[in-house]
Structure 1
Amino acid sequence: MIKKNSSKRPKIVVIGGGTGLPVILKSLKNKNIDITAIVTTADDGGSSGILRNYIDMVPPGDIRNVMDALSNLPKVNLNLFQYRFKSKDQFFAGHPIGNLIIAALSEMNGGIFNAVKELSRIMKVDGHVYPATEQKLVLHAKFKDGSQVDGESEITNAHGQIKRVWVTTTNGKAPKAIDPVIKAIHDADQIVLGPGSLFTSILPELMINNLGKAIINANAQVVYICNIMAQNGETNGFSDADHVKVLNQHLKHHFIDMVFVNNKKVPKGYIDQNKWDEYNQQITKDPDELRKHGCKFIYDDFLDLHDHGAFHNGDKVVKKLLNIL
């Protein structure tokens, strides 16, 4: 790994998964920061789900995207790493090459942790990438109507109002975060949660008992980057304060110090609902309720509009993170 006076650089730990985490990491990469990305291992859909089941490995998809975000390889190499075989290629249909490389390295190196360590070297990653745990996680959700659904993709597709989530290993036991994850949280100056799906990208890591406790006990500033849009099946009708309330309820502690909330309006009719069907309305703002949860907040323009979708502008978010750090 490339190191640049790492002992003197501020240490920022970013926790999450999905498409939101790489946005922040790409903008952090070129700053004088010691970066650690802690990535969810609960994904069970698409290529990751297939490899998880057939090869009995931790799902590689979110790890692949984080590696891409932090790599210093030329663009042509990264394009190959991220290339996804077309659906007509039956044997490899839907698999990105990067997922297959991670699968191979996991077999060669005796597990996902050593595989990621080796791949970080190969891809010239400036920072540390850790799976939240070396165990495959199963995400469970109880809905407000009393029903229960198991598995991340099934929970998302249920489109119900989620009351709470928790994680187990595939054999039903309590998972445990690996020691380097706990040490990174302990040593951090700032811990960033998100952006990402509240119940399926962020909470799965926090529900790992020793990881959640490490965040609660950390001396670091804990920042939550609130989603721009509500998500169907997860956060319909949520305000920014509702997100924080759910996080606090799950960890049974008021542990969020700062919340970043986009206040720029998404133009009416801009979002392509066919392409981005998980989007709902914009998250509403409730500053009075945020104060009741004991956290400060920043309302600002964090919006990046492209491809007829609404995303976080990584550079704007990182500028604010470094300002408050």
Structure 2
Amino acid sequence: MSERIKVCHTVALPDPVRLARYERSPELGPRLLFFSGGTALKEFSRRLVRYTHNSIHIITPFDSGGSSAELRRAFNMIAVGDVRNRLMALSERLPGADSAIFDLFAYRLPKDEPQEELHKRLLALRDGRDPRIAAVDDPMRKLIRNHLRFFTECMKDDFDLRGASIGNLILAGGYFNYGRHIDPVIYLFSKLVDVKGTVRPVSSANLHLAAELEDGSYVVGQHMLTGKETAPIASPIKRMFLTRDMHPEGAPEPSEVHIRQKVSDLISKAEIICYPIGSFYTSLIANLLPKGVGECVSRNECPKIYIPNSAPDPEQKGMSLSGCVRVLLDTLSRSCEHECARDQLLNFMLVDTRRGQYPMPLDLAKIQRFGIEVIDADLVDDENPPYLDSNKVLAHLLSIV
């Protein structure tokens, strides 16, 4: 029977020796857990597999824009787009490897063709007549065609195929095939495309993001909050919550959902927990809303680190950097079953104040009074400021483990 002890030690940031060890044996690499969604960690995840094949990615399934919007409207299902993106980013794409499956998952139907023509394109993919599916090797080709068959059988005549992501349709077909369960689909595709990590949605509940703004108004839907498909929010966000009704007549009704045991187990196994860059509310905070997230985080004694956005984020309207930390801590605390100390939820913040464009004021002294150690390092990409360099961030994260 093994015995658990607590060990404290000092580390160098970055630590080239530690990085070399991970790079030499990534299959034995550390279990870094990320609460994320969207595409902010896409390139980061691709580089991550060089050092570890054991990372854990808890993804928000509450997206309501783009291709996911039509799928959710038609089938009352969770969003699968961010799951698809992360699976493909963690699939080790070696030089010279067949790119057919990657190209197919990234392919979108045209936005400017009649529905009849788009339907013909989809059927050509399903029946194996399109060169994109013909280029995929068996057994993956048969599996994809089977999932597209499930999708076309469920698809109603009014389904809008303009700009539809084929990768999303494939995952949706698998979702229907497995009785509206997403985990078996993720597991199967992870094995077939050799995903170097674990990807799970934080919840399997069909819910939407809602926000009450400081001016008293409400906004419902992830795509209405990001400022990417619509105008940026006119007033700062006062609180964020989950709701079932995408189009309420009055104020949206909050809905409570608890994380599943599978997600709880993944959080408990993490060797470092990271709250990373990405849309602050719709990617990060959204993942912390389900009940039980904060409780599981607090019980894991591993280091917890926040990496704030180094470039402007429309969702952070009217917020300071210390305000972001406060919202992060408050959201985690609300998903706890018991009162938790701050150092059980967050220990470090990784920033580059010299070149990053963070929400002002920085209030670093106030953040430190929260009991959080601020690591101010060279993180910004030399060729693309003020955005962070994935290699620099990885070097610091991996050196902490």
Do they fold alike, i.e. is TM over 0.5? yes
Taking only aligned residues, the RMSD between alpha carbons, in angstroms, comes to 2.3
What TM-score, normalized to structure 1?
0.86
Work out whether residues 12 and 33 of structure 1, in 8 Å CA contact, stay in contact via their aligned partners in 2: no
Aligned match of 1:162 in 233, 237, 251?
237
Superposed CA deviations along residues 161-192 of structure 1, whole A, max 9, x for unmatched, are 00111124459642222222110101111011
2:326 to 242, 245, 257: 245
Do 1:240 and 1:261's aligned partners in 2 also have CA atoms closer than 8 Å?
Answer: no
Other-structure match for 2:7: none
**Identity value in percent:** 28
Match runs of 1:216-235 below 5 Å: 216-232=298-314, 234-235=315-316
- Normalization by structure 2: what TM-score? 0.70
Q: Distance in 1 between matches of 2:198 and 2:212?
A: 34
Look at both structures and tell me which one has the larger radius of gyration over its CA atoms: 2
Residues in 2 aligned to 1:72 and 1:33: alpha-carbon distance in whole angstroms: 9
Alignment equivalent of 1:77, drawn from 63, 83, 101: 101
Question: Which residue identity is paired with 1:62?
Answer: D
Is the CA contact (8 Å cut-off) linking 2:26 and 2:51 kept in structure 1? Answer: no
Match of 2:189 among 119, 128, 149: 119
SS in 2 for 1:227: coil
The one-letter amino acid paired with 1:218 is: N
Aligned residue type for 1:256: L
Q: Give 1:278's aligned residue.
A: none
Q: Which aligned pairs between 1:156-195 and structure 2 lie closer than 5 A?
A: 156=226, 157-169=232-244, 173-195=255-277
Q: 1:138 aligns with which of 193, 208, 212?
A: 208
Separation of aligned partners in 2, 1:148 and 1:168:
12
1:89 has 2:158 as partner: no
Alignment of 1:1-325 (within 5 A): 9-73=29-93, 74=97, 75-91=99-115, 92-110=161-179, 111-156=181-226, 157-169=232-244, 173-232=255-314, 234-252=315-333, 254=342, 255-265=345-355, 282-284=358-360, 285-304=362-381, 310-325=386-401
Aligned pair in 2 of structure 1 residues 88, 261: CA closer, same or farther (>3 Å)? same
More strand by share: 1
| Distance change (3 Å), C-alpha of 1:240 and 1:90 | farther
**Distance of 2:394 and 2:325 partners within structure 1:** 20
| CA distance, structure 2, for counterparts of residue 264 and residue 79 of structure 1 | 39
**Unmatched 5+ stretches in structure 2:** 1-24, 116-160, 227-231, 246-252, 334-339
What is the CA-CA distance between 1:148 and the residue it aligns to? 2.2
CA distance in structure 2 between the aligned counterparts of 1:289 and 1:33, rounded to whole angstroms = 37
SS of alignment partner, residue 312 of structure 2: strand
Report how far residue 309 of structure 1 moved: 7.8
